[in-house]
Amino acid sequence: MIIAGGGTGGHLFPGIAVAREIQRRDSASSTLFVGAEQGIEARIVPKEGFELQTLPVGGIKGVGAVRQVRNLAGIAASVFKARRILREFKPDAVIGVGGYASFPMLTAAILSSYPRVIMEQNAIPGLANRVLGRWVDFAAVTDTRTQSYFGNRAVVTGNPVRPEFKSIPPKHHVAPYTVLIFGGSQGAQSINRAVMDALAGLRDWKEKLRFVHQTGERQLDEVKNAYARKGFQADVRTFFNNFHEQYAAADLIVSRSGATTVAEIKAAGRAAI
């Protein structure tokens, strides 16, 4: 099996959940991940024990004209490389989980007549999945409202969640209470700013709260310094690899409401804002 895509945890982690389930059902199976050269998959997939190949692909929205042209050329080059990967790996199917690498890999699978599946986590699919949806054999969606975009190829499966989130035990709330904060795998400046602004109003709770905060790359030092200045206990990092352990320790989660995040919070049974 080839699982293509990533770039963010919201795309990548459902793919990892599927890969693990395939492995559980058939220990002789082989799964190859195909991602973007700059995506988070480069540091996560090998740690999960799966092989990863990358494509020279990037986004074309929200970038300058020069980079847009370069990334368009990268898409074409990525389709050629993806076809070579197909010839070498010979998968039974290609699963696109969203993200930059998903488009060229699924396009190559269409051109080479390999069975292909789209996993769509969002209620409203992005442009790439809406275009490719006409040419896939199966679309796994999380919401009945999404079925109309894929016609009779759509099946409501829910959003795959890694099993360690489903086995998190109930939390016994004892001070200091742990607040887990994150804005997706890349952080969210709006959440970081809101939390920093809120610290002054929480000074009476200083001894009763512990913060675990995933900031993303840009605001790490700023957020760390904000907690230190106010005297709060905080573990602040750009990214946590053992995220299910952070969920298990949390009394409250503050996060963006991405589809994968919501599915994980529900599976873990944690209170969230």
Cβ atoms within 10 Å of 196's Cβ, excluding its own: 18
Task: Please calculate the CA angle 74-77-80 and round it to the nearest 5 degrees.
Answer: 150
Rounded to the nearest angstrom, the gap between the alpha carbon of residue 158 and the centroid of all alpha carbons in its chain is: 15
Q: How far apart are CA 187 and CA 174, in angstroms?
A: 28
Tens digits of residue pLDDT in 7-34 = 888 899 999 999 999 999 999 999 999 9
pTM recorded for the entire structure: 0.89
Cα–Cα distances in angstroms (integers) from residue 126 to residues 99, 114, 246, in the given order: 10, 22, 30
Tens digits of residue pLDDT in 60-95 = 665 666 666 677 777 889 999 999 999 999 999 999
Please enumerate, as own/partner, the contacts of 197-205 that have beta carbons within 8 Å and a separation of 24 or more: 199/226, 199/227, 199/230, 199/232, 200/230, 202/232, 203/230
How many residues belong to the chain?
273
The pLDDT assigned to 266 comes to 96
The pLDDT assigned to 244 comes to 95
Give, for 156, the enclosing helix (H) or strand (E): strand 154-156
Could you say which residues of the chain have pLDDT below 70? 59-69, 184-187
Structural domains of the chain in order of their starting residue, each with its CATH number: 2-160 (3.40.50.2000), 165-268 (3.40.50.2000)
Q: How far apart are CA 187 and CA 181, in angstroms?
A: 9
The pLDDT assigned to 114 comes to 98
**Residues 142 and 129 sit within 8 Å (Cβ to Cβ):** no
φ, ψ (nearest 5 deg) of residue 118? -110, 135
The pLDDT assigned to 185 comes to 60
Which two tokens mark 101? Answer: 């690498």
Helix (H, G, I), strand (E, B) or coil at 103: helix
